[in-house]
Structure 1
Amino acid sequence: MNFNDLPPALRASFLPPPRLLMGPGPITCDPRVLRAMSYQLVGQFDPAMTDCMNQTMALYRGVFRTENRWTFMVDSTARGGIEACLVSLLEPGDRVLVPIMGRFGQLLTEIAERCGAEVHTIAVPWGEVCDPAQVAEALDRVRPKLLATVQGDTSTTMCQPLDELGRLCRERDVLFYCDCTASIVGNAFETDAWGLDAVSAGLQKCLGGPSGIAPVTLSDRAAAVIQARRHVERGIRAADDEDAGGERIRSNYFDLAMIMDYWSEARLNHHTEATSMLYGARECARIALEEGIDEVVERHRIAGNALAAGLAALGLALFGDQAHRMHNVVGVYIPEGVDGEAVRGRMLADFGIEIGTSFGPLHGVIWRIGTMGYNARRDTVLTTLACLEQCLRCEGFAAPPGEAVAAALGAFS
């Protein structure tokens, strides 16, 4: 193919349009993270690289609020982090209990089923969370190996309380896994204090980075289960390894036993490190710890409450149990008679602002508007509310002029 014969659009570099991403994620990336990701590559076993890996592990112990030795990165999107944890912890026939309060509980169910697990679920209406008493009853009835949860489900904007669930699991010798991709550093999260055994996350929400790497932390208890399944001898798979316990982990790429070897002092080769993503992950954690995790959570709480106040002042009804809403995403009903997609289209075309639709039973019923990471700020909330007011008016909705911004300013102050 001759380059000069290509259409002009293909011959030009791709330049993304300016956008303010105020949906449920991904969000506008923090410029400091983008800068870190622009740095030059070094070899994956260069001492500078291994130092960067060690520093990143130490920083994410602070993010996760844990002393876990096994705190590291999986080179994948957040979904890959989920799959790595589940495929490495679950063997075919293992029982797993999944509370479902939205789309991402359904995702945990699907991934666990693909691991060959016997999956049991607790389903609550979208917009609610699971009561600990429900979970306790199901744990006693199912007797699972693993409880797999989502803390913040962006499909419903709900935040599942976790503090009691860890105690319930420890009393019954059940492993406790959580996907906190949408909630980490935007909402309180305490790996050790809440008794979590395995946690995975992503950068593209409250951490203010891009999708493409998944922070993971494992308790000693979870690490022992994974390492008992290893079939590795001097870096070579050996199916007849007499020391190997359990069934072989069915994924090569998402085999956490092998990835742990890669992140250990031994640095056994597993894959070529996604160096630029590692730089970005390190910077996301550094920025969060520099501000202070409690302070970051509080910033998200204030921004989320201001957005919710502004939406209510527009005459819009908020979705779900507000006592359990995530700080960083607000669900709001699309007004009757208003074309929700037309409003979203106007927001994007006229103002360069993206807000989200939803999944399944909520598709076309609510918008999801996020205040996450770099976008959890006063100016972004006020701008979004002012522009939404105008777009609603263009679609025939009688939004009270100026009330949304005034209410948000009141909440901020």
Structure 2
Amino acid sequence: MGPGPSDVPSQVLRAQGAPTIGHLDPEFLRCMDECRAMIRAVYGTENTMTLPISGTGSAGMETLFANLLEPGDAALICTHGVFGGRMAEVARRQGAEVVEVKAPWGQPLDPEKVAAAGAGRRFRVLALVHAETSTGVLQDLAPFRAIADEHGALLVADCVTSFAGVPIELDRHGVDAAYSGTQKCLSAPPGLAPISLSERAMERVRAREHEVRSWYLDLRLLARYWGDERAYHHTAPVNAIFGLHEALRLVLTEGLEARYERHARLSGELQAGLRGLGLELPVAETHRLPPLTLVGIPDGKDDKQVRRHLLDRYGLEIGGGLGDFAGKAWRIGLMGASCTPRHIALCLSALEDALS
């Protein structure tokens, strides 16, 4: 019950343990196509360029910035936690001039401040984190398309902790590019990064003046393998994609609305129980992220000692705080297959014991 990975259903583990076949086998190509269609459904998009990158969620981040940015480009990056800061660092490594807009940790971004920070300038990208894993803040995407348009920017979103846990709706919000991971609300093993890019974003990729610095993450090359041409690029992680296929199938079988409702409802039950133990929740309810709850550590309680007690006595893992919340808060995940009443009951009873 940490910030990921979440529990992996037995069906996904069985699928991932199927016999390995070739990465150009017709059966595997069918699996690839079905994965792309299901990723589109979860993202809420019709984007043709939608696929899982062979790598973790951070590889998805690298892919988008490596393809969308060139040396000298300006990038407006919103930071209110670890992963906004990581986006800024990745953008700098692409040679971009980064302007950071910062908000206090545990609070959402202020769209007016974001717009003001870029006033009078044009940017190649405007990037923000939809679900900040380090703080448990869910950011409303709705205001940012208009801000991106004001600055001539592509809108990029980190959806690592929101994918399959809360609605994203890329097309409705006008998001041009998004990336995620498989190990959180999707409940597949880590190792793949579902990404999606709009046609506007792909026009930018095709119009680059310089080669993408990473051959492995070059979307123009990957498009030839994942598209109709089926040109060899790299040996895809066949069995990981089998597992991804099954995880996506389980999500869509449950139904997106039912899945989102489950995460919201059980998160509310967990938070009520945590407050019943006298624990503080630093993030305001209006922008609290259902799949991940930030919990203040009571005065006089040792962070590592409590977490070690939970792990040793109950086999229960929760996450420690990061950055501004290091040593001050825990992060409790209710993600995918780990979002059940049984998990809540175990967590609350184990915490009560540890704190006593």
Q: Tell whether the structures are fold-level matches, with TM greater than 0.5.
A: yes
Question: Hey, what's the Cα distance between the residues in 2 that align with 1:333 and 1:275?
Answer: 42
Question: Hey, what's the Cα distance between the residues in 2 that align with 1:133 and 1:298?
Answer: 30
Q: Which residue of 1 aligns with 2:264?
A: 301
Matched, 1:193 2:172: yes
* Bigger Cα displacement from structure 2, 29-38 vs 206-215: 29-38
Instruction: Describe the SS at the equivalent of 1:140.
Output: coil
Question: Hey, what's the Cα distance between the residues in 2 that align with 1:62 and 1:99?
Answer: 27
Deviation of 1:149 after TM superposition, in Å, equals 1.2
Cα deviation 1:242-297 (Å, max 9, x = unaligned): xxxx1111111111111111111111111001001111111121111111111111
Structure 2 residue identity aligned to 1:258: L
Q: Which residue of 1 aligns with 2:85?
A: 106
Q: Which residue of 1 aligns with 2:204?
A: 225
Cα deviation 1:373-410 (Å, max 9, x = unaligned): 101111111111011101111xxxxxxxxxxxxxxxxx
Structure 2 residue identity aligned to 1:296: R
Structure 2 residue identity aligned to 1:362: F
Question: Hey, what's the Cα distance between the residues in 1 that align with 2:83 and 2:72?
Answer: 22
Q: 2:330 aligns with which of 346, 367, 370?
A: 367
Q: Which residue of 2 aligns with 1:276?
A: 239
Question: Hey, what's the Cα distance between the residues in 2 that align with 1:265 and 1:53?
Answer: 11
Matched, 1:318 2:270: no
Question: Hey, what's the Cα distance between the residues in 2 that align with 1:103 and 1:124?
Answer: 12
Q: Which residue of 1 aligns with 2:160?
A: 181
The equivalences for 1:5-404 within 5 A come to 22-229=1-208, 246-393=209-356
Question: Hey, what's the Cα distance between the residues in 2 that align with 1:312 and 1:141?
Answer: 46
Instruction: Describe the SS at the equivalent of 1:297.
Output: helix
- Alignment: residue pair count: 356
Q: Which has the higher contact order (CA 8 A, sep 6+)?
A: 2
Question: Hey, what's the Cα distance between the residues in 1 that align with 2:187 and 2:137?
Answer: 20
The answer for unaligned runs of 5 or more in structure 2 is none
Structure 2 residue identity aligned to 1:281: L
TM-score w.r.t. length of structure 2: 0.98
Structure 2 residue identity aligned to 1:255: D
Deviation of 1:131 after TM superposition, in Å, equals 1.5
Question: Hey, what's the Cα distance between the residues in 2 that align with 1:144 and 1:138?
Answer: 11
1:343 touches 1:392 (CA, 8 Å); kept in 2? Answer: yes
TM-score w.r.t. length of structure 1: 0.84
Deviation of 1:139 after TM superposition, in Å, equals 3.4
RMSD over aligned CA atoms reads: 1.1
Q: Which residue of 2 aligns with 1:235?
A: none
Q: Which residue of 2 aligns with 1:242?
A: none
Question: Hey, what's the Cα distance between the residues in 1 that align with 2:124 and 2:68?
Answer: 9
Structure 2 residue identity aligned to 1:41: T
Question: Hey, what's the Cα distance between the residues in 2 that align with 1:170 and 1:62?
Answer: 25
2:122 touches 2:152 (CA, 8 Å); kept in 1? Answer: no
Question: Hey, what's the Cα distance between the residues in 1 that align with 2:121 and 2:8?
Answer: 42
Identity, in percent, stands at 39
Larger radius of gyration: 1
Question: Hey, what's the Cα distance between the residues in 2 that align with 1:141 and 1:28?
Answer: 47
1:170 touches 1:195 (CA, 8 Å); kept in 2? Answer: no
